Amino acid sequence: MEKQISVVLVGAGNRANVYASVSLKKPEIMKVVGIVDPDPVRRELMRERYSVPHENCFENVYEFVKRDKFADAVINGTMEDLHVSTSIPVLEKGYDLLLEKPFAVNEKEMNELLSVARKNGSKVVIGHVLRYTNFYKAIKNHVLNGDIGKIISIETCEHVSYHHMVVSYVRGKWASEKVCLAPMLLAKSCHDIDIMLWMMKETEPKQVVSFGSEFQFGKDKKPEGVGTRCLKDCPRVDDCIFSAKSNYLAFSRWWQYVWKTLESKKDLTLEDKEYSLKTDNRYGKCVWDFERDGNVDHQAVVFNFANGATGTFSMVGGCAKPERNIHIVGTLGEIKGTFEDSRYVLRKMSPSTSEMGYTETVYDLNVTGDMIGASSGHGGGDEKLVYDFLDYLNGADPTVSCATLEDSVISHRAVFKAMESKINGKIIDF
């Protein structure tokens, strides 16, 4: 019988909470026994949610590791620039680790964390949750089974909705590389780069080139006659697609970001929210008034693989509909699909059976697939990642979806090289 895994949350934010919520659904397999966060409001909210003793709550990771080891593992959901500095002490203390992606913001940090994990023999899993979704896992199985032969080309794209772009990467925590140290390609799209390289696991990138820019935002692009705060002095508050009124008051989307400053107040009213957006809430500021300092709203990346295959990825922030697409062409067929639809097509070359020269099978996972948990975060990937992590700690071998630290290094290096290419305007060798 598998033992219950005890975990400490380092960073009491949304991501750690999503992973930790498995303990509320299945307390027999996981229990939260500690909280580490400098924010007293967040710390107390999470302490109450998971019934953690006061003595197991800490302001920072250094206070936490002064204690004797009292759990099996740590779930680290801090911001990107804190991942390595908060993970090294817990690895050296002997904890295994589930670490949110991206796990490092530069190659130096990446290599430092890898060295410490190897030295301590730690089990470290990175939160590449898309690998666990029904959609990508099914496609990976086709690749492994040889259904499309050897991959010639893989094309992926991520269309980030205009309201997600603005809440996270203009108004939000990832607006400025100077603050979060993670460019949008790393913070948002390391998921997608990881999926591409996971599909191409038989080979590695040889070269990369990348282009991207800030096309929509920044003070120099601000329209005339627009105010400084949507609900305070802007005449376009009712017709601007980026209006805080329509994005955050009319809908409940992105509440976990927008109302963080009001977390200590119970029973929030509409008036409370309006006042916050009119005064000190950064999500009430005009989208064109934020410092962008070199961050992008769109970027394209091209890979040349060692075996001669090619791969392309395009990230576009500001689309009407959020969407991830994939198209893999192999020597025997192809796979093409859209993640949000949970639907893809497998075409196999077969000139003897059809005038078109191929057979086509449509896989609709909403009808035929295992959709357990698919309504939860990232198409069910969040929850399945945690179950897999717990199994791994209980002695099971890593599954095909499991992104260990060693596995994740290649996709992070690919992003770092792509950013180097964008900045220097050159083809970069790996």
In tens, the pLDDT along 321-332 reads: 999 999 999 999
The H or E element containing residue 420 is helix 405-424
Kindly write down the DSSP assignment for every residue of 284-307, as one continuous string. GB-GGGS--TT--SEEEEEEEETT
Dist. CA 190–CA 411, nearest whole Å: 7
Bridge partners for 30 per DSSP: 5
Dist. CA 41–CA 300, nearest whole Å: 40
The H or E element containing residue 181 is none
- For residue 264, the model assigns a pLDDT of 82
The H or E element containing residue 210 is strand 205-213
In tens, the pLDDT along 118-149 reads: 999 999 999 999 999 999 999 999 999 999 99
- For residue 379, the model assigns a pLDDT of 63
- pTM attached to this predicted model: 0.92
CA atoms within 13 A on the CB side of 243: 19
Residue 386, token pair as written in the block: 């945690």
Quick check: helix, strand or coil at residue 228? coil
Residues making up the chain, counted from first to last: 430
- pLDDT one digit per residue (tens) for the chain, 430 residues: 589 999 999 999 888 999 999 999 999 999 999 999 999 999 999 999 999 999 999 999 999 999 999 999 999 999 999 999 999 999 999 999 999 999 999 999 999 999 999 999 999 999 999 999 999 999 999 999 999 999 999 999 999 999 999 999 999 988 888 777 888 999 999 999 999 999 999 999 999 999 999 999 989 999 999 999 999 999 999 999 999 999 999 887 898 899 988 888 888 899 999 999 999 999 999 999 998 877 899 999 999 999 999 999 999 999 999 999 999 999 999 999 999 999 999 999 987 766 778 899 999 998 754 433 344 455 678 999 999 999 999 999 999 999 999 999 999 999 999 999 999 999 999 9
**Of 147, 138, 143, 157, nearest in space to 371 by CA:** 138
Residue 87, token pair as written in the block: 């993970």
Omega prior to 322 cis, within 30 of 0: no
Main-chain phi, psi angles of 284, to 5 degrees: -95, -5
Domains of the chain in sequence order: 5-122 (3.40.50.720), 130-218+293-374+403-429 (3.30.360.10), 219-289 (no CATH)
**Of 17, 15, 60, nearest in space to 36 by CA:** 60
Classify strands 343-349 and 333-338 as parallel, antiparallel or unpaired: antiparallel
